[in-house]
């Protein structure tokens, strides 16, 4: 994946000054250990009827924690020009994911109704525009003028992923591009990838700044969630998804990386 180029002359001096803010690599190991251990636990050490419930609770607790941290940052910077609004948008976005997970659980476990598609998807989808608001507010504030190559990046990258998703989905089996489930998944995959493209753009802009490392962690979290989203909608085309599927590990890891990003951001500024 080639980074979009930003014209140095278009980056204003308002971009935060570079400071030392090293990663704690033990946290990465802990995140990986938690995600893998939990997946092994619910698949091999717990009965199936209990593992679905435990997986559901774990699934909605993760975005809830991200939302709480996001709101705490928004409150802390409520008087700032940008951070208060942008982190409020992020927090509400992850609150939407929490509500989506809870609704999904109610459909699937409480009422034993097929949760895809359902009202839960409304909550899942609302996270994309809100995350885009968070990303765009920060990017526009620190870099009012974006170069042409960067603009092409946020246009072409999602389309390229969407083409790849479409080819893989329609060649794996006898799936028509005119099927409802295909188009339904395409909408989510596109917006998930669009969110990732803006996050990558922000990482390039802020890579030498005070929030550079925190933003890179945010990108990694969104990347893992995008992989999870893309894989999930492919699985749903063939009815192969369940709460114990390995795809869930990408969402778990994504949430925890975003948590780390938010905590790091809060401590940095």
Is 2 inside a domain boundary? Answer: no
Is 47 inside a domain boundary? Answer: yes
Is 9 inside a domain boundary? Answer: no
Q: What percent of the chain has pLDDT over 90?
A: 68
Is 3 inside a domain boundary? Answer: no
Specify the pLDDT at position 13.
Answer: 41
Specify the pLDDT at position 21.
Answer: 64
Is 15 inside a domain boundary? Answer: no
Residues of the chain with pLDDT under 70: 1-21, 173, 269
Specify the pLDDT at position 1.
Answer: 41
Is 256 inside a domain boundary? Answer: yes
Domain extent for 195:
21-268
Is 37 inside a domain boundary? Answer: yes
Specify the pLDDT at position 210.
Answer: 76
- Name the domain count of the chain: 1
DSSP readout, the chain? -PPPP--GGGS-TTSPPP------HHHHHHHHHHHHHHHHIIIIIS-HHHHHHHHHHHHHHHHHHHHHHHHHHHHHTTTSSSHHHHHHHHHHHHHHHHHHHHHHHIIIIIS----SSSTHHHHHHHHHHHHHHHHHHHHHHH-SS--HHHHHHHHHHHHHHHHHHHHHHHHTTT--TTSHHHHHHHHHHHHHHHHHHHHHHHHHHHTTSTTHHHHHHHHHHHHHHHHHHHHHHHHHHTT---TTSTHHHHHHHHHHHHHHHHHHHHHH-
């Amino acid at each position: 994946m080639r980074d979009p180029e930003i014209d140095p002359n278009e980056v204003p001096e308002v971009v935060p000054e570079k400071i030392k803010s090293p990663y704690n690599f033990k946290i990465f190991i802990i995140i990986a250990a938690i995600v893998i251990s939990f997946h092994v636990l619910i698949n091999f050490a717990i009965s199936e009827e209990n593992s679905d419930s435990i997986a559901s609770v774990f699934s909605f607790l993760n975005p809830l924690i991200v939302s709480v941290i996001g709101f705490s940052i928004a409150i802390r910077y409520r008087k700032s020009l940008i951070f208060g609004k942008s982190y409020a948008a992020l927090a509400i976005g992850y609150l939407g994911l929490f509500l989506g997970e809870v609704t999904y659980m109610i459909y699937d476990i409480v009422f034993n109704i097929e949760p895809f598609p359902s009202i839960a998807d409304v909550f899942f989808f609302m996270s994309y525009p809100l995350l885009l608001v968070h990303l765009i507010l920060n990017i526009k504030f620190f870099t009012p003028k974006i170069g042409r190559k960067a603009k092409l990046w946020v246009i072409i990258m999602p389309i390229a992923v969407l083409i790849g998703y479409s080819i893989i989905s329609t060649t794996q089996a006898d799936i028509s591009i005119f099927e409802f489930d295909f188009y339904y998944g395409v909408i989510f995959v596109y917006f998930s990838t669009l969110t990732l493209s803006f996050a990558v753009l922000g990482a390039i802009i802020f890579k030498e700044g005070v929030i550079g490392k925190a933003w890179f962690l945010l990108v990694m979290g969104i990347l893992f969630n995008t992989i999870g989203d893309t894989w999930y909608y492919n699985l749903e085309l063939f009815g192969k998804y369940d709460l114990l599927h390995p795809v869930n590990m990408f969402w778990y890891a994504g949430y925890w990386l975003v948590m780390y990003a938010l905590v790091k951001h809060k401590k940095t500024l």
